[in-house]
Amino acid sequence: MRTQRIETGTPEGEALGFTKDLFSGWLELCTGSRLYLHYIISRYRGEGNVQNLIRDWLDRGFDVRVVMPRPIMQHIVKKFGFVPSREYFPGQYEEMVEVWYRPVSTGASGIISTEPAIAGRS
């Protein structure tokens, strides 16, 4: 899986709504529309900007993953049905790390667990 690091203040970040006027941080966009949010700080705490950003990504069909979220981020992503898991990030961390994700819903048949894979790097 190919990955692209995206930071706030870049054209790629702006296209994703990850704008430098609202946020500071970085994420990775992987082949297949998976986003790994590694680090984010809202410039306007408590205004719902992070929640709105995640909602927008989900509405646009991204498979959003949050790497090692702090308790406040866990609180936010739980609202969207995210659950904790563990994944490998070769070249970034020596061991598996906590990653929160939202299992894929299949309507009437319930929830399919999308087992996290190794976040491969090409």
pLDDT in tens, the chain (122 residues): 678 999 999 999 999 999 999 999 999 999 879 999 999 999 999 999 999 999 999 999 999 999 999 999 999 999 999 999 999 988 888 899 999 999 975 444 343 344 454 454 43
Q: What is the DSSP string of 24-39?
A: EEEEEEETTTEEEEEE
3-state secondary structure 39-56: EEEECCCCCCHHHHHHHH
pTM: 0.81
User: What are 57's two structure tokens?
Assistant: 């990504």
Q: What is the DSSP string of 52-72?
A: HHHHHHHHTT-EEEEES--HH
User: What are 111's two structure tokens?
Assistant: 């929830």
All domains in the chain, ordered by first residue: 3-112 (3.40.630.30)
